[in-house]
Amino acid sequence: MRILGIDPGIATIGFGALESEKNSHKLINCGVITTPAHTSLSSRLEQIYDDMMQLLDLFKPDAVSIEELFFNTNITTGISVAHGRGVILLACRKAGVKVYEYTPLQVKQAVVGYGRAEKRQVMDMVKRLCELPAPPKPDDAADAVALALCHARSATSLLYRGDQEECSTI
């Protein structure tokens, strides 16, 4: 399964493309989409959309894994990120790619095994699971790879049943 992990934002959007089969994970590529500061919101959103469409065309993922929004202390930043996230969701919809959303706690649980893990623990497990010499840089790209790993590990769970609407009985 090919998964594109996305760490949403407005100035910097992390991406990580991963090929995953059972317990084997191969990082294809990772990096960031950046939009210039002091540019109108609509211009930044257009650039995010165009770059996302390129990523979706380049990697042809089976699924996109994206972080759910949570508002911490700065609601203004959260609103900007929500705009960017909406454009990313639209690009995925237009490309016909299924989107899976995960909270930071779910990502930490899936990657590290502990929902309250520290960032350095997540980065270390990303490095180990993808058999990399060092964690991906910058942090936004590493977070995106962690999101892809989260979906890879969740999708192989006994409880995961694809697109079924109802709960399965095990």
Give catalytic residues, as residue numbers.
7, 67, 140
What string of DSSP letters covers 88-101? HHHHHHHHT-EEEE
Grouping H, G, I as helix, E, B as strand and the rest as coil, residue 132 is coil
Grouping H, G, I as helix, E, B as strand and the rest as coil, residue 70 is coil
Rounded distance, CA 170 to CA 149, Å?
24
Asked if the peptide bond before residue 8 counts as cis, ω within 30 degrees of 0, the response is no
Kindly report the length of the chain: 170
